C-alpha cells in the first residue's frame, strides 16, 4: 500500500465530516492531511501509529491528530469482531475566527497541542462516546453544537498524553511516506522471524547505511528498537487475550531467549509480563 496525501471534504450540509466506519480491517495506510482528526474506537484492536509513536488500540481508544501529522491504525491477525470507529475531521479554517474569542481559549490550546497527537484516558473517552455516536444522525445545527461541546469537554480534561515525540517532523515527502509504509507492512508480516538489515533495506531499495540514517532521522530510534517495541506491543495483546504462558508468548513474538524477552518487556512496559497480565485481569 502507498501512503497518500488525503483530500477530505465535509459531510453534505455540514462544516465538518463525521463517519461511522465499519469493516473487517482498517483500509488506510500511513497518511496525512491538513484536517484535524478525532478517532474513537468502538470495536476491534490492533496497533496505532501516530508520528514516531506506536501503541496498542482497543475499545475506548480516543485520539486527536493534528494537521499533517502522519497516522494509521492497523488490525493484527484474525479479528473476532469487526472494526467499528467514529472519525470526525475538520479544517483549521472552520474554527479560525472563533478561536480568537475568550470562550474558545481551552479549545484553542487543545488544538495547538494536537500537533503531536493526543490520546485521552478511557474514562474521558466513555464520557463523550454517546455524543460522538450521535453526531452521525443529528441535524446540522445540533451536530455543530454537540461537536463544540465534545471539544470543550476534551479541552478541559487533563487526563491525556502526547503520542509523537517533541522532535518529530511532519515534513515527509510522499516517497518517504511510501518507504515508511513498506517498513510497517514488512515488520507486521515478519516481526516474529529473524529480520536482518539486508532484508528490510532491499525491500525499500536502499543500502543498509542509507536505510539506518533514514529510519533514525524519521523515528528517532534504531530499526531494531522499533522491532522490539513492535514485538512487545504484540506480547501485551497476547497476555491480555490468551492463556499462553509468558515464555510461550515470548517465543510466539520472536524471542528465543526468555530472559531477553523479560528485559525488553520491562524496558518498554516498566513491569514484568506476569505483573502486566495480573494488572489487566484484576480490573
pLDDT at 109: 93
Q: What is the pLDDT of residue 5?
A: 40
- DSSP code, position 31: B
Q: Where in the chain is the domain with CATH 2.60.120.280?
A: 17-162
CA distance 69 to 248: 37
For the chain, where do the domains classified as CATH 1.10.10.60 start and end? 191-281
Of 90, 94, 110, 50, which is closest to residue 74 (Cα–Cα)? 50
**Contact call for residues 237 and 273 (beta carbons, < 8 A):** no
88 touches 132 (CB < 8 A): yes
Find the radius of gyration of the CA atoms of the chain: 20
What does the alpha-carbon distance between residue 75 and residue 106 come to, in Å, rounded to a whole number?
33
∠ CA 31-64-282 to the nearest 5 degrees? 110
- pLDDT number for residue 8: 45
* SS3 category, 44: coil
pLDDT of residue 170: 64
Inter-CA distances, 201 with 87, 206, 217, Å: 34, 5, 15
Q: Nearest CA to 273 among 250, 254, 251?
A: 250
The confidence score (pLDDT) of residue 10 equals: 52
Fold of 191-281: Arc Repressor Mutant, subunit A (1.10.10)
Whole-number pLDDT of residue 75? 85
pTM above 0.85, yes or no: no
Q: Low-confidence residues of the chain, pLDDT below 50?
A: 1-9
Res 1: pLDDT: 33
Q: CATH class for domain 17-162?
A: mainly beta
Distance CA 185, CA 192 (A): 13
pLDDT score at 80 = 64
Amino acid at each position: 500500500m502507498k501512503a497518500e496525501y488525503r483530500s477530505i471534504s465535509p459531510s453534505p450540509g455540514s462544516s465538518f465530516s463525521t463517519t461511522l466506519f465499519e469493516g473487517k480491517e482498517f483500509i488506510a495506510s500511513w497518511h496525512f492531511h491538513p484536517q484535524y482528526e478525532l478517532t474513537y474506537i468502538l470495536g476491534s484492536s490492533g496497533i496505532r501509529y501516530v508520528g514516531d509513536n506506536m501503541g496498542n488500540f482497543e475499545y475506548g481508544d480516543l485520539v486527536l491528530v493534528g494537521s499533517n501529522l502522519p497516522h494509521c491504525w492497523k488490525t493484527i491477525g484474525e479479528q473476532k469482531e469487526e472494526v467499528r470507529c467514529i472519525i470526525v475531521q475538520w479544517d483549521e479554517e472552520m474554527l479560525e475566527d472563533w478561536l480568537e474569542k475568550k470562550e474558545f481559549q481551552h479549545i484553542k490550546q487543545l488544538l495547538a497541542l494536537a500537533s503531536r497527537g493526543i490520546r485521552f484516558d478511557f474514562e474521558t473517552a466513555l464520557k463523550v462516546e454517546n455524543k460522538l455516536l450521535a453526531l452521525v444522525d443529528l441535524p446540522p445545527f445540533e451536530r455543530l453544537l454537540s461537536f463544540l461541546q465534545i471539544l470543550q469537554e476534551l479541552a478541559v480534561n487533563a487526563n491525556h498524553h502526547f503520542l509523537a515525540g517533541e522532535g518529530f517532523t511532519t515534513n515527509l515527502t510522499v516517497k518517504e511516506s511510501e518507504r515508511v509504509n513498506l517498513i510497517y507492512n514488512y515488520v507486521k508480516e515478519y516481526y516474529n522471524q529473524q529480520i536482518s538489515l539486508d532484508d528490510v533495506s532491499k525491500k525499500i531499495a536502499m543500502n543498509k547505511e542509507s536505510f539506518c540514517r533514514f529510519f533514525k532521522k524519521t523515528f528517532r530510534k534504531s530499526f531494531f528498537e522499533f522491532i522490539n517495541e513492535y514485538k512487545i506491543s504484540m506480547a501485551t495483546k497476547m497476555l491480555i487475550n490468551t492463556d499462553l504462558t509468558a515464555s510461550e508468548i515470548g517465543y510466539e513474538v520472536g524471542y528465543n531467549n526468555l530472559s531477553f524477552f523479560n528485559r525488553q518487556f520491562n524496558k518498554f512496559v516498566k513491569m514484568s509480563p506476569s505483573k502486566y497480565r495480573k494488572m489487566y485481569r484484576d480490573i
